[in-house]
Amino acid sequence: MEAIVMPALGQTSEEAYIQEWLVQEGDTVEMGQPLLSVETDKAQLEVECVADGVLLKIVCPADTTVNAGTVIAYIGEPGETIPSE
């Protein structure tokens, strides 16, 4: 299982606003595929998937502001146990 963390999206922004998830829990995802759309104080961009598998859990929903390094989702194989927050 892979924990997906919010990347540091710029030298000046330590947080990003999640505008929209482009995939849903249970969807199969591939490395490099856009996962979500985020906005920083300077830009709007998409965060790409860093692993192949199934989006098991979205930890931080849309309309949430999160700090860089925060776990925002888990990707793995169907049936894997998701760590408790």
Q: What is the CATH number of the domain that holds 27?
A: 2.40.50.100
Which pLDDT value is given to residue 76?
A: 96
Is 84 part of a structural domain of the chain?
no
Which pLDDT value is given to residue 75?
A: 97
Which pLDDT value is given to residue 43?
A: 85
Is 50 part of a structural domain of the chain?
yes
* Total-model pTM: 0.90
Distance of CA 41 to CAs 18, 47, 51, Å?
Answer: 12, 16, 27
Task: Tally the domains of the chain.
Answer: 1
Is 83 part of a structural domain of the chain?
no
Is 85 part of a structural domain of the chain?
no
Is 65 part of a structural domain of the chain?
yes
* DSSP class of 63: S
Distance of CA 20 to CAs 1, 9, 13, 36, 65, Å?
Answer: 23, 16, 19, 6, 12
pLDDT digit string (tens) for 2-60? 999 999 877 767 899 999 999 999 999 999 999 999 998 888 999 999 999 999 999 99
**Residues 21, 57, 82, CA angle at the centre, nearest 5°?**
160
Which pLDDT value is given to residue 40?
A: 87
Is 71 part of a structural domain of the chain?
yes
Residue 34 domain boundaries: 2-76
Is 28 part of a structural domain of the chain?
yes
Distance of CA 1 to CAs 42, 44, 50, 64, Å?
Answer: 32, 28, 12, 23
Confidence band, pLDDT 50/70/90 cuts, at residue 63: very high
